[in-house]
């Protein structure tokens, strides 16, 4: 042992001696939080418990919301039916397909989103989520993220925009940039309608499981990309996690509903602006030139068809045709528009879209579409916030590029594997 080490050992011995004389240890009474923490932070069952609770959240959102979605569906189909009787064909098409169709496609997915928000809020208010951050911290450090990244990543399940803004709490610049760059891979609520529709149509009994798989895939990809960014671009290692664990509480229904309502309002505001305008734009593209499409009946002659056919050669190896191409292009604006676009192209109301997609997609190509929707370019709003928070077009361009390439590669793999497995 060298002199410096001996000095350090002697110092600590002296410190121990002084502390032993002047500090009295008091046995801390066992708390309710201690009881629960023994289980949820256990090294063997902690992460499985976290995964099963997340599965319960999405199962709750998917299963319980069905009657509410159907009620909205029935209502808007009724409105569209009445509007379609108007004598002026242009006005009838605009009102039934553009206006009521647009609202219907957006609002029919409000119940699953609302129920997922309610479940997540309940989980948050119990005080479990900080424990979840603690449980996954070790895994996050391994992939080049720090524990503080967990909260923005978790918020990403709701909406990537506030999630990316929440990265401001991360002090280290490299940690913050990596968290921003991989955050769009966390599956936001806008992507849920696509999963709900396709998983429900193709994997009826296992729909909840398929949706969960999509979320898990997003998490895995975020981990992989964070590792690559840390290793090849930023270097260094993430800073350690220090956080206070609040005591467990029993959430009240009122407070859970009020907190959820705040999140639901964000979706409704988006629905009333971006999504509705997007739906009207897609109606315009699907029905114009008005004469060439014979009032929206010959979709093959529409602007939407031209866009779809331009994209088709790129997506055909994924088992997707031009109709999916149009929907994915529409999804650049906002992911919720994907479903409405498909229904408009197939010329069905929101009640018929689930039946029609089974004729245009296979289970494998449905999985490929869900995978692309999960990974490819986040919506315009998210891209704007990424640019704002990264403060550079170069980094934003990198996010855009890697997500497009990654979406294509992963969807190709998913399609190939699913085609073999489901043969």
Q: Does 348 bind other proteins (CB under 8 A)?
A: no
**In angstroms, rounded to a whole number, what is the distance separating the alpha carbons of residues 256 and 1?**
59
Q: Does 147 bind other proteins (CB under 8 A)?
A: no
Q: Give min distance, CB of 304 to other proteins, in A.
A: 30
Q: Is-contact 276 103, C-beta < 8 A?
A: yes
Q: Does 55 bind other proteins (CB under 8 A)?
A: yes
Q: Which of 21, 67, 242, 359 binds other proteins (CB under 8 A)?
A: 67
**In angstroms, rounded to a whole number, what is the distance separating the alpha carbons of residues 146 and 95?**
50
Residue in 229, 218, 241, 239 with CA at minimum distance from that of residue 132: 241
Q: Give min distance, CB of 287 to other proteins, in A.
A: 29
Q: Give min distance, CB of 375 to other proteins, in A.
A: 22
Q: Does 7 bind other proteins (CB under 8 A)?
A: no
Contact pattern for other proteins over residues 191 through 230, marking x by CB under 8 A: --------------xx-xx--x------------------
Residue 73 or 97: the one with the smaller Cβ distance to other proteins is 73
Q: Does 289 bind other proteins (CB under 8 A)?
A: no
Residue 50 or 361: the one with the smaller Cβ distance to other proteins is 50
Give the per-residue SS3 of 376-405.
Answer: CCCCHHHHHHHHHHHCCHHHHHHHHHHHHH
Residue 199 or 377: the one with the smaller Cβ distance to other proteins is 199
Residues touching other proteins, count (CB under 8 A): 38
**In angstroms, rounded to a whole number, what is the distance separating the alpha carbons of residues 11 and 263?**
54
Residue in 221, 236, 243 with CA at minimum distance from that of residue 175: 236
Q: Which of 6, 249, 297, 355 binds other proteins (CB under 8 A)?
A: 249
Q: Is-contact 152 164, C-beta < 8 A?
A: yes
Map the footprint of other proteins across residues 33-52, applying CB under 8 A.
33, 35-36, 38-40, 42, 44-45, 48-49, 51-52
Contacts of 318 (CB under 8 A, 6+ apart): 365, 368, 369, 372, 408, 411, 412, 415
Q: Does 78 bind other proteins (CB under 8 A)?
A: no
Q: Does 165 bind other proteins (CB under 8 A)?
A: no
**In angstroms, rounded to a whole number, what is the distance separating the alpha carbons of residues 240 and 228?**
19
Q: Give min distance, CB of 250 to other proteins, in A.
A: 7
**In angstroms, rounded to a whole number, what is the distance separating the alpha carbons of residues 277 and 96?**
15
Residue in 344, 197, 349 with CA at minimum distance from that of residue 280: 344
Q: Which of 70, 171, 300, 355 binds other proteins (CB under 8 A)?
A: 70
Structure tokens at 4: 């410096």
Structure tokens at 165: 């803004």
Q: Is-contact 194 218, C-beta < 8 A?
A: no
Please measure the distance between the N-terminal and C-terminal CA atoms of the chain and give it in whole angstroms. Answer: 67
Q: Give min distance, CB of 107 to other proteins, in A.
A: 15
Residue 17 or 205: the one with the smaller Cβ distance to other proteins is 205
Residue 36 or 307: the one with the smaller Cβ distance to other proteins is 36
Q: Is-contact 256 264, C-beta < 8 A?
A: no
Q: Does 71 bind other proteins (CB under 8 A)?
A: yes
Residue 173 or 205: the one with the smaller Cβ distance to other proteins is 205
Q: Which of 21, 25, 30, 394 binds other proteins (CB under 8 A)?
A: 30
Backbone angles phi, psi at 210, to 5 degrees: -65, -40
**In angstroms, rounded to a whole number, what is the distance separating the alpha carbons of residues 294 and 107?**
29
Q: Which of 128, 248, 361, 408 binds other proteins (CB under 8 A)?
A: 248
The upper half-sphere exposure of residue 83, i.e. CA atoms within 13 Å in the direction of its Cβ, equals: 19
- Give the interface with other proteins as residue ranges (CB under 8 A): 29-33, 35-36, 38-40, 42, 44-45, 48-49, 51-52, 55-56, 59-60, 63-67, 70-71, 74, 205-206, 208-209, 212, 247-250
């Amino acid at each position: 042992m060298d002199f410096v080490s001996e000095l350090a050992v002697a110092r600590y011995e002296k410190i121990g001696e002084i502390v032993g004389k002047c500090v009295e240890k008091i046995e801390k009474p066992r708390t309710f939080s201690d009881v629960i923490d023994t289980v949820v932070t256990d090294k063997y069952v902690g992460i499985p418990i976290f995964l099963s609770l997340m599965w319960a959240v999405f199962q709750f959102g998917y299963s319980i919301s069905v009657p509410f979605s159907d009620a909205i569906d029935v209502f808007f189909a009724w409105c569209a039916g009445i509007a379609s009787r108007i004598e002026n064909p242009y006005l009838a098409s605009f009102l039934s397909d553009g206006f009521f169709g647009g609202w219907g496609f957006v609002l029919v997915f409000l119940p699953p989103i609302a129920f997922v928000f309610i479940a997540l809020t309940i989980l948050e208010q119990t005080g479990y989520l900080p424990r979840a951050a603690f449980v996954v911290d070790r895994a996050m450090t391994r992939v080049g993220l720090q524990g503080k990244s967990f909260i923005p990543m978790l918020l990403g399940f709701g909406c990537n925009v506030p999630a990316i803004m929440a990265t401001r709490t991360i002090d280290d610049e490299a940690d913050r940039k990596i968290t921003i760059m991989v955050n769009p891979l966390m599956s936001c609520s806008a992507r849920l309608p696509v999963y709900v529709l396709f998983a429900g149509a193709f994997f009826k009994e296992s729909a909840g499981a398929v949706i969960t798989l999509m979320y898990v895939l997003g998490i895995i990809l975020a981990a992989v990309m964070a590792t690559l960014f840390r290793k090849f671009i930023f270097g260094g290692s993430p800073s350690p996690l220090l956080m206070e664990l609040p005591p467990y509480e029993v959430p009240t229904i009122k407070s859970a509903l009020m907190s959820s309502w705040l999140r639901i309002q964000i979706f409704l505001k988006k629905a009333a602006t971006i999504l509705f305008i997007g739906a009207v734009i897609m109606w315009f593209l699907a029905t114009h030139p008005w004469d060439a499409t014979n009032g929206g009946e010959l979709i093959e002659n529409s602007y939407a068809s031209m866009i779809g056919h331009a994209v088709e050669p790129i997506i055909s190896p994924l088992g997707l045709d031009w109709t999916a191409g149009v929907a994915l292009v529409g999804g650049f604006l906002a992911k919720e528009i994907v479903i409405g676009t498909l229904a408009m192209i197939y010329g069905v109301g929101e009640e018929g879209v689930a039946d029609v997609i089974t004729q245009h997609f296979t289970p494998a190509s449905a999985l490929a579409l869900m995978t692309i929707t999960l990974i490819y370019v986040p919506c315009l709003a998210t891209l704007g916030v990424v640019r704002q928070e990264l403060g550079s077009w170069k980094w934003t361009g990198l996010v855009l590029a890697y997500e497009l390439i990654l979406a294509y590669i992963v969807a190709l793999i998913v399609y190939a594997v699913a085609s073999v497995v489901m043969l």
